[in-house]
Amino acid sequence: MEFPLQRALVSAEPLPSSLRGMFQEEWGIDTYQCYGTADVGTIGFECVRKEGLHLAQGLVVQVCDPVTGEPLTIGDVGEVVVTLLNKVYPLIRFGTGDLSRFLEEPCSCGRWASPRLAGFMGRVGDSVKVRGLFLHGHQVKALAGEFPWVRGLQVVVDREGVRDTLVIRVEGKASPNDLKALKTRAEGLFRLKVDAVETVASGELKGSKSLEDRRKWD
C-alpha cells in the first residue's frame, strides 16, 4: 500500500541525507528542510533542488564572525545573524548561534535573486541542540556542582540511527544510588532523557570538553 503522506517539510534539527533517503525510498515521502528559530520564525527553506536554503522574505540575514560580529565575505563560515524589521517584534542583529555560509552560485531552480545558506554547519561556542532542545555548557557545569562527590563530569551527545543519545561520564566515588540521583537531576535540569551514566577512571576526563558533540551530519 502506498503511504498517504507524500511530501514533508521538517525542521528543528539537521536532516542527514541518509534519513532523507530513507523517507524517500522506504516511504515515498519527498522531504524538504526548513531552518528557523523560535524568535525569528522561518529563516530559510529548500526548493525542489534541495541544494541549500533560500532565505525567507522580510529578513536581513548576515553571516558574521562570531567573535567580532563583523559580516564575513561570501562563502566563509560564520554565525547566522538575523534582523527582523517587524513593528510588533523587531529584532536587530539577532545571533542565532548557528554556523553556516552563503552559497555563491545561483540556484538552478530559477530563484536567482534569492541568496541561499548552505545549511546548518554547527553551533557557536559550547551549546548543542539535542532532540530539538538546546543543551548549554553552563547547565553541565551546574549539574556537576550540585554533587560534592563528582570529581569530573562530561556529557557526550551522539547519534544512533536517527536518535540523539545522551550519556553522562562521571568521575568520583559514587554508590549506585548516587548515580541514579545524578541521572534524575540531569534529566530535570536538561529536560532531556539521559540514556546512561557511566563512571570513568580517575583522571580520564582531565582536559576533555564538558559537553562533547560526537554526531556527524554527513
Q: Which is nearer to Zn ion, 71 or 110 (CB)?
A: 110
CA dihedral 182, 183, 185, 189 (to 10 degrees): 130
Q: Which is nearer to Zn ion, 108 or 184 (CB)?
A: 108
Instruction: Determine, following the binding rule CB under 5 A, whether residue 109 of this chain makes contact with Zn ion.
Output: yes
CB of 52 to Zn ion, least distance (A): 7
Q: Among 15, 61, 107, 144, which residue sits at the site for Zn ion (rule: CB under 5 A)?
A: 107
CB of 46 to Zn ion, least distance (A): 8
Task: Give residues 39-78 in contact with Zn ion (rule: CB under 5 A).
Answer: 47, 49
d(CA 217, CA 119): 11
Q: Which stretch binds Zn ion (CB under 5 A): 29-37, 56-64, 99-107, 162-170?
A: 99-107
- Supply the Cα-derived Rg of the chain in whole angstroms: 20
CB of 149 to Zn ion, least distance (A): 55
DSSP label at 71? Answer: B
Q: Which is nearer to Zn ion, 49 or 173 (CB)?
A: 49
Q: Which is nearer to Zn ion, 5 or 9 (CB)?
A: 9
Per-residue CA distances from 125 to 32, 106, 135, 197, 213 (Å)? 28, 31, 12, 24, 12
CB of 117 to Zn ion, least distance (A): 12
CB of 166 to Zn ion, least distance (A): 35
- Contact between 193 and 137 under an 8 Å Cβ cutoff? The reply is no
The gap from C-alpha 148 to its chain's centroid, in whole angstroms, comes to 31
Instruction: Determine, following the binding rule CB under 5 A, whether residue 19 of this chain makes contact with Zn ion.
Output: no
Burial of 186 (0-12, 13-18, 19+ CB in 10 A): buried
Task: Give residues 111-150 in contact with Zn ion (rule: CB under 5 A).
Answer: 111
d(CA 80, CA 56): 14
Binding site for Zn ion (CB under 5 A): 47, 49, 107, 109, 111
